[in-house]
Amino acid sequence: MAGHEVKTVVVFCSDFRQNQQVIAHCKEAYGEFDTLSFPGACLPFLAEESSQVTGQWLTTLRQLHGNEKVVVIDHLDCGAYKVTYADELAGAPVQHEDHLHRKNFVALQKKFNEDPTLRLLKLEFALYNIPDQRLEVIKL
């Protein structure tokens, strides 16, 4: 342990339309925190080609800063979701994207539960709505 610790890691989408607002919300909620930012926030933790690497970054941060909690913040109207689920989201009502985020949160919790290292981190989930600037905590 490096002697400086922080309890929380926030994982959020790279999208410029929301990342500064999300950080501002998190400063209010958590004070200090580590960050990881990827297009689609939780998507690279679930994708086969990137899940091991992204999980390893969390493990590294935990080793460095003793993190206990990961807050995963997806947002609605996410371009990475539109690319990843192009066929499924084409012409679908907006509620369908909302549904996909919640479904992925469940899948991510399951993935963490099954991983001997990642299961040590408590997961929390939230969805950010850009027009409303509202962060909704999602309880699974």
Q: Determine which residue in the list 8, 15, 33, 135 makes contact with Zn ion, applying CB under 5 A.
A: 15
In the list 10, 26, 71, 78, the residue contacting Zn ion (rule: CB under 5 A) is: 78
What is d(CA 124, CA 139) in angstroms, rounded to the nearest whole number? 8
Q: Which stretch binds Zn ion (CB under 5 A): 7-15, 30-38, 91-99, 124-132?
A: 7-15
> In the bound complex, what is the minimum distance in angstroms from residue 13's beta carbon to Zn ion?
3
Which residues touch 140 (CB under 8 Å, ≥6 apart)? 105, 106, 109, 125
For residues 71 and 8, the answer to whether their CB atoms sit within 8 Å is: yes
Q: Which of 13, 71, 100, 127 binds Zn ion (CB under 5 A)?
A: 13
Query: Does position 76 bind Zn ion by CB under 5 A?
Result: no
d(CA 78, CA 96): 12
State how far the alpha carbon of 50 is from the alpha carbons of 36, 38, 54, 66, 85, in Å. 14, 11, 6, 23, 17
One-letter identity of residue 59: T
Tokens of 129: 């709505």
Stretch that binds Zn ion, among 14-22, 24-32, 98-106, 128-136 (CB under 5 A): 14-22
Segment near Zn ion (CB under 5 A); pick from 54-62, 73-81, 92-100, 120-128: 73-81
Closest distance to Zn ion from the beta carbon of 124 (Å): 18
**Residue 13 or 135: which CB sits closer to Zn ion?**
13
Contact residues for Zn ion, defined by CB under 5 A: 13, 15, 78, 80
